[in-house]
Amino acid sequence: MTHSRRILRLALFGLTPILCLGAEMTAQAGTRIERKAFGKTKSGESVELFTLTRAGAPKVAITNLGGYVVSMLAPDRTGRIGDVTLGFKDLAGYTGDTSYFGCLVGRYANRIAKAAFSLDGKRYALSANNGPNSLHGGPTGFCSRLWTAAVKSGKDGDTLELKYVSRDGEEGYPGTLTATVVYSLREDGGLVIDYSATSDAPTVVNLTNHAYFNLAGEGEGTILDHELQLEADAFTPVDATLIPTGELKPVAETPFDFRKPVAIGARIDAADEQLKFGGGYDHNFVVRGAPGALRLAARVVEKKSGRTLEMFTTEPGVQFYTGNFLDGKVVGKAGKPYLKRGAFCLEAQHYPDSPNQPDFPSAVLRPGQQYRQATVYRLSVTK
Ligand code: GLA
């Protein structure tokens, strides 16, 4: 409702415009969140859909099943609204999802080699759900869990708080982990994802959001002509099962050099062993600057629409994945098939397999410590 229509409506109910103005300012400041039913899980639990709106920001829908970002609506340079994230029209799509289309991944995002790690001298066995490795927290990782949702109201409007308590031994991980993720919008077009976690016993943790973006609109062909700039001087090369070798390899003179904007497709099929292993880009880049500080990690521009995505994170790395496993079999929310390379992901993270790589930044969380992670996906328009 516009400002003047609301004043008019309230005035009709006998309130003075001055009172209404005050009420209006409180009601409209910052982000507003509407919640509605989104169906029931197979075991009968009610799932909700939360829609976040704010002037200057994309309209973002999020469900508390897996914390999925269900849609992200943003204008192109002519003002035409498009949905820039891949996903499904209803809950059934999400309960059957095997591609992690926008969910909150945990307890350990990305791969752990041979589905096992040691911590303080004890060996922990995980499920191998990706060849010999564990991927994205295992078959019943955080993406498949129902998170407890709360809408909190503050000076800057509403925020969505999602909470999940992962029991000791769940998917093989030690310690009861309490994870909280707060989604909010900024007036500069940013979707902020703020993560925190504590544990009652030593464990490993690596949380991320796995949104798939196509800035031309979900289902609108491939992302090969999107231009990417990555704030990374090095990446972590992998073996044939996509486990890092341990090396930090300079991107200079490789198809992994995105220090200046380059079309994603320009070198994606180059004769390069790393690209062969990934079937395209599916690699962790070392984000320039100090981990812990929120800094620019990536910028993507889709020239036809002008839509531009910037990603900022506090994490040491970002997995750049070009949807190489999509094959057109999954049909998205508007009925269009999701083609191979029909989207890209920028997953903020600790490096893959850190629990087995002593030289990588540690992913260990101990009792009394707090895990923190913040990521911002900011949408704007390049004229
Ligand atoms: C991550 C992985 C990919 C793939 C996707 C989900 O990006 O690195 O290899 O598993 O998740 O399909």
Question: What CA–CA distance (Å, rounded) separates 376 from 365?
Answer: 23
CB-based contact 255:272 (threshold 8 Å): yes
Joined tokens for residue 319 = 């997995």
Q: pTM for this structure?
A: 0.93
Using alpha carbons only, what angle is made at residue 89 by residues 88 and 91, rounded to the nearest 5 degrees?
Answer: 80
Q: At what angle do helices 3-12 and 17-28 cross, to 10 degrees?
A: 130
Pocket test for ligand 1, best of 281, 321, 327 (most atoms within 8 A of CB): 321
Per-residue HEC secondary structure of 195-243 comes to EEEEECCCEECECEECCEECCCCCCCCCCCCCEEEECEEEEECECCCCC
Beta bridge partners of 49: 36, 63
Catalytic site residue from 210, 226, 283, 350: 210
pLDDT bracket for residue 16 (50, 70, 90) = very low
Task: Give yes or no for residue 131 CB within 6 A of ligand 1.
Answer: no
Local structure of 117: helix, strand or coil: strand
Mean pLDDT on 142-153: 98
Best mutation site among 111, 112, 142, 282 for ligand 1 pocket (most ligand atoms within 8 Å of CB)? 282
What average pLDDT does the segment 358-369 reach? 98
- Amino acid, res. 270: A
Nearest Cα neighbor of 307 from 128, 106, 83 is 83
Distance in angstroms (rounded) separating the CA atoms of residues 113 and 132: 7
**Whole-angstrom distance, CA of residue 211 vs CA of residue 377:** 10
State mean pLDDT over 306-314: 98
Predicted confidence (pLDDT) per residue in 188-218, tens digit: 999 999 999 999 999 999 999 999 999 999 9
- Give yes or no: 161 in active site: no
Q: Distance from the CA of 300 to the center of ligand 1, in angstroms?
A: 19
Of the ranges 14-28, 192-206, 352-366, which one carries the lowest mean pLDDT score?
Answer: 14-28
User: In the chain, what is the straight-line distance between the N-terminal and C-terminal CA atoms, in Å?
Assistant: 29
Q: Over the chain, what is the mean pLDDT?
A: 94
pLDDT, average across residues 294-306: 98
Q: How confident is the model at residue 24 (pLDDT cuts 50, 70, 90)?
A: very low
pLDDT tens, residue by residue, 87-127: 999 999 999 999 999 999 999 999 999 999 999 999 999 99
Q: What is the 343 CA–ligand 1 centroid distance (Å)?
A: 12
Count of alpha carbons within 13 Å of 67, Cβ hemisphere only?
30
pLDDT in tens, 220-250: 999 999 999 999 999 999 999 999 999 999 9
Neighbours of 243 (CB within 10 A): 23
Q: Which amino acid is at 48?
A: E
Output the pLDDT for position 28: 54
Give residue 29's pLDDT: 79
The response to whether residue 327 sits with its C-beta less than 6 Å from ligand 1 reads: no
Distance CA 211, CA 68 (A): 8
- Based on the number of CB atoms within 10 Å of its own CB, is 240 exposed (0-12), middle (13-18) or buried (19 or more)? exposed
Give the residue-averaged pLDDT of 165-176: 98
Under the banding of pLDDT at 50, 70 and 90, the label for residue 12 is very low
Cα separation, 63 vs 36, whole angstroms: 10
Phi, psi dihedral angles at 93 (to 5 degrees): -60, -45
Question: What is d(CA 2, CA 65) in angstroms, rounded to the nearest whole number?
Answer: 33
Residue 283 falls in the annotated catalytic set: no
> Percent of the chain scored above 90 by pLDDT?
92
Measure 284 CA to ligand 1 centroid, in angstroms: 11
- Angstrom distance (rounded) from CA 226 to CA 344: 9
Residue 149 near residue 161, CB atoms below 8 Å: yes
pLDDT reported for residue 157: 97
Q: What is the mean pLDDT of residues 78-87?
A: 98
State yes or no: pLDDT of 20 exceeds 50: no
